[in-house]
Amino acid sequence: RTVALKILTEAGCADGEAKARFLAEARMAGNIVHDNIISVYDFGDEQGRPFIVMEFLRGESLKEAIKNNRPPDMRGKLGIALQIARALDYIHSKKIIHRDIKPENVQVDDMGKVKLMDFGIAKSEGLQLTRAGFTLGTPYYMAPEQVLGQQVTNLVDVYAFGVLLFELLSGVKPITGDTVERIFNQILYEPLDLEPLRRAGAPRRIYDLVANCTVKDPLQRIQGFQLVAQEIETALAGNLEPMPAAAPPPAAPRAAAA
């Protein structure tokens, strides 16, 4: 069969922590069996070079799908989101936190089937491999507690999923800074502008779901992907009626005639 082979670079092999993280990813991913997660068939070490043998995926990344507005309809987009939520619910049940949820780490085939991939910075219970002074994760999708270097829980994946869902439905990122400092400032202090979701025709339930996933205080977020999946399933069972257009601001009062 055709497979994909992931091999650690020579520079990575010279870095003890990078090598340990690569092998941890292999062990972690090798224990995951789910329809919406890339399969790992084997891993090992060949002459000091660690490798992972993985399922060969066809189709395109979710990043490309969003860019090309595929699928074009709300129901198709929510079907993709539901598969991602189910995959994340599964890995959380295995005490694994992905920590790098983003469109580039989701593959979509021609039939709309999703595969979650790249567990390179995932963290399992009891595994401590975070390099001091180095923030892990892609800035646009990082939760406030990740930015601040606080304890990471499965709720960082909930936050990142909310950002990804916003982008999937609207075609634009909710965080728009062009420097890491600006991005972090937006994540920490500025509320997300959800108006692009309304313009994209998101149903009220999904609009509220994005808002609940991306609350800055993790304790105020929706508390897991079983609940997230239920919200999407309920929305899909309905007619997906879009939210009404925002009401225009009231007109300024006219000055009374003299």
Give kind and range of the element (H or E) at residue 124: strand 123-124
Fill in the amino acid letter for 202.
A
For residues 102 and 146, the answer to whether their CB atoms sit within 8 Å is no
Annotation marks residue 100 as catalytic: yes
3-state secondary structure of 75: helix
Main-chain phi, psi angles of 44, to 5 degrees = 180, -160
159/141 Cα distance (integer angstroms): 8
Give the torsion sign (CA, 210, 78, 63, 68). negative
The b-or-e profile of 147-158 (16+ CB within 10 A means b, else e) is beeeebbbbbbb
Give kind and range of the element (H or E) at residue 55: strand 49-55
Give kind and range of the element (H or E) at residue 54: strand 49-55
The one catalytic residue in 15, 45, 89, 100 is: 100
- Written as six digits, the tokens of 1 are 């069969």
Fill in the amino acid letter for 140.
Y
Q: At what angle are helices 74-93 and 225-237 packed, to 10 degrees?
A: 160
Residue numbers annotated as active site: 100
